[in-house]
């Protein structure tokens, strides 16, 4: 059966993978675990993300067999990230909310690992390999960001349409940055670190009494603010993608082209 799937056109395999992931999120997502299975938010998010990780790995093996690169970050980069995360945690100590730190670490980790593997490692990486013609890298970045934003549609089971649209705008802009960061660094650890930082910070500063709640409440003027933020994200993505020498702007494409796609492997 798998050999037959290998003969499918690339877009058929890609959309099959995405459709199954969206169906999995709809049937076993965060909101359904809480609403129908009466699981606590903390347990729900951990169960869902861990299950998603295994599903993602299985789907990648069946449909894409996309190779993903986990080259280590530079020691200086790791030190800088550590200092930034400690400064973020210091805010919680200052506000007397130190108990949020473990939750922020858990949420940041499970989201960064699973979502970056799926949307940047698998989807964006495969798009870079299979797209051709002018602006293929730009199209790969935009398409992967659209998939990332679309994945948040499942949140409408827990929140309003307006709140979900605002969330999707944020996800699209962030997805642009995460994709070009993977392309520029050549390691999935770079977008994982940024994604972790965003979720870590948003959890530390969340207004929800239960920090494991991922429900977003729509507020007046949110669309205007999000459009401005989206513009900022686009500028940042362009700077990451275009500043510097050509060799430094893309450390990923050559790796992907040289790697065999016959088996899913992780390179350290």
What is the pTM assigned to this prediction?
Answer: 0.92
Q: What is the pLDDT of residue 66?
A: 93
Cα distance from N-terminal residue to C-terminal residue, the chain:
31
Q: Which residues of 66-97 are buried (b: 16+ CB within 10 A; e: fewer)?
A: bbbbeeebeeeeeeeeeeebeebbeebeeeee
Q: What is the pLDDT of residue 267?
A: 44
Which of 55-64, 170-179, 212-221 has the least mean pLDDT? Answer: 212-221
- Sign of dihedral through CA atoms 57, 63, 65, 71? negative
Joined tokens for residue 183: 């392309």
Mean pLDDT within 77-96: 88
Question: Which residues make Cβ contacts (< 8 Å) with residue 252, sequence separation at least 6?
Answer: 69, 125, 128, 182, 183, 184, 185, 186
Question: Closest Cα partner for 244 from 197, 183, 188?
Answer: 183
Q: What is the pLDDT of residue 2?
A: 66
Q: What is the pLDDT of residue 246?
A: 81
Query: Distance of CA 63 to CAs 58, 117, 182, Å?
Result: 9, 15, 22
* Count helices and strands in the chain by DSSP H and E runs: 13, 2
pLDDT, tens digit, 9 for 90 and up, residues 88-109: 988 887 777 788 888 899 999 9
Question: Closest Cα partner for 99 from 199, 214, 211, 196?
Answer: 211
Q: How far apart are CA 81 and CA 178, in angstroms?
A: 16
Question: Which residues make Cβ contacts (< 8 Å) with residue 2, sequence separation at least 6?
Answer: 62
Residue length of the chain: 268
Centroid of chain to Cα 34: 23
Joined tokens for residue 261: 């796609």
Mean pLDDT within 101-130: 94
Q: How far apart are CA 4 and CA 32, in angstroms?
A: 34
CB 212 within 8 A of CB 48: no
Which of 66-75, 112-121, 178-187, 251-260 has the least mean pLDDT? Answer: 251-260
pLDDT, tens digit, 9 for 90 and up, residues 19-30: 999 999 888 877
């Amino acid at each position: 059966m798998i050999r037959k799937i290998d003969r499918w056109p690339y877009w058929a395999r890609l959309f099959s993978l995405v459709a199954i992931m969206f169906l999995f999120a709809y049937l076993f997502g965060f909101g359904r675990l809480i609403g129908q299975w009466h699981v606590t938010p903390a347990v729900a998010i951990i169960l869902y993300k861990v299950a998603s990780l295994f599903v993602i790995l299985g789907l990648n093996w069946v449909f894409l067999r996309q190779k993903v690169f986990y080259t280590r970050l530079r020691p200086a980069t790791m030190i800088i990230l550590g200092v930034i995360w400690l400064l973020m945690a210091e805010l919680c100590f200052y506000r007397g909310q130190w108990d949020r730190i473990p939750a922020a670490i858990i949420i940041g980790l499970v989201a960064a690992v699973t979502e970056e593997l799926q949307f940047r490692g698998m989807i964006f990486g495969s798009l870079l390999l299979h797209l051709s013609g002018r602006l293929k890298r730009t199209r790969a970045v935009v398409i992967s960001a659209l998939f990332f934003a679309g994945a948040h549609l499942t949140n409408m089971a827990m929140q309003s349409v307006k709140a979900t649209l605002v969330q999707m705008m944020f996800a699209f802009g962030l997805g642009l940055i995460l994709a070009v960061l993977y392309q520029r660094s050549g390691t999935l650890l770079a977008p994982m670190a940024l994604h972790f930082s965003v979720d870590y910070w948003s959890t530390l500063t969340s207004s929800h009494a239960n920090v494991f709640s991922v429900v977003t409440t729509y507020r007046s003027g949110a669309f205007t603010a999000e459009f401005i933020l989206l513009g900022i994200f686009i500028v940042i993505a362009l700077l990451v993608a275009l500043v510097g020498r050509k060799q430094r702007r893309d450390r990923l494409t050559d790796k992907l082209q040289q790697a065999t796609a016959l088996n899913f492997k992780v390179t350290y």
